[in-house]
Amino acid sequence: MSITKSVCIVFLAACLWGNFAFAQQVVKDSYIILFQQNAGVIDPPNPANAGKVPVGQPTSGQNKEQLAAELGLNGKIVSILEVNNGIVVKMNEQEAQQWRSDVRVMSVEQDFLLSFDAIQDVQGDFPLYRDNKLTIPRVDTDQQAGIFQGGVFQYDSAINAWRLQDYRVAPVADIFLLDSNAVELIVKETLPTQVFLKVKGSFSDSCQTLGRVNHRLKGNRFEVVISVASSGSQACFPEVKPFEKIIPLPVYGLSAGNYEYIVNGKITGSFELKNDNNL
């Protein structure tokens, strides 16, 4: 679950500039076990030790080896995720499958690393001027983040003003839930803290693909909007197409406190930043 310092720096740039694509790489024989809130397995954080323990170590002082012995775990605990009420464990798939049936467990998922590939494209959030045309990637309204996309303006010297040539209204993706955990909150206990939303769902049309993902912070709530794009195929037919998307929330620089998120106006959740999220 650790992310190298260099990748953390890249992540900060992604939070600030928004021109990065995210790739997911599975970590072999490494799993994340999240426990039920009332399981009593993970000790609660100790605010007095915040910022005083190494990254990945619990502020509660809970011992990984002792916890593994108490659980009868046939594996090695790599990290205790006290914010997520879980652990990262080195074990095989057979052991992971056994833990999925434990009544104290909420979920067992394979661990992964997030890598960042810098790409400059039309999905960026910055205006582009080329051949006397100005392209505005997105425009927010009070009702929806990024509702207007791909606005193209042509300068008209006769009136000394810009004329609107083209734009589109982004339809919000109708997320068909694959399970009860369609949106999973992932908190990376690094310095600074990193927060991601792992969205799982499916489309019902063979021509539908994921469009832009827009988000903004209003007050203490992140509004995340996943839009739909078309693959451009002439022949569309009903087809269940699953998708999975990792969405980073720009939490760098935020003050300590409680924050909420809402995805496509349907799925909500919250998380806490225990400290001001700065280097």
Are 161 and 113 in a shared domain?
no
Is pLDDT larger for residue 138 or for residue 164?
Answer: 164
Poorest-pLDDT segment among 102-106, 203-207, 213-217: 203-207
Specify whether 61 is located in the same domain as 95. yes
Same domain assignment for residues 11 and 39: yes
Same domain, yes or no, for 55 and 81?
yes
Per-residue model confidence as pLDDT tens digits over 24-70:
556 788 898 999 988 899 998 887 876 676 655 788 889 999 999 99
46, part of any domain: yes
- The share of the chain scoring above pLDDT 90, in percent, equals 24
**Sheet of 208-218: strands edge to edge?**
208-218, 221-230, 257-263, 267-273
Quick one: 194 and 158 in the same domain?
Answer: no
Quick check: pTM over 0.75?
A: no
3-state helix/strand/coil string of the chain: CCCCHHHHHHHHHHHHHCCEEEEEEEEEEEEEEEECCCCCCCCCCCHHHCCCCCCCCCCCCCCHHHHHHHHCCCCEEEEEECCCCEEEEECCHHHHHHHCCCCCEEEEEEEEEEEEEECCCCCCCCCEEECCEEEEEEECCCCCCCCEEEEEEEEECCCCEEEEEEEEECCECCCECCCCCCEEEEEECCCCCEEEEEEEEEEEECCEEEEEEEEEEECCEEEEEEEEEECCCCCCCEEEEEEEEEEEECCCCCCCEEEEEEECCCEEEEEEECCCCCC
- Shared domain check, 9 and 82: yes
Question: Residue 254 is part of which domain span?
Answer: 183-273
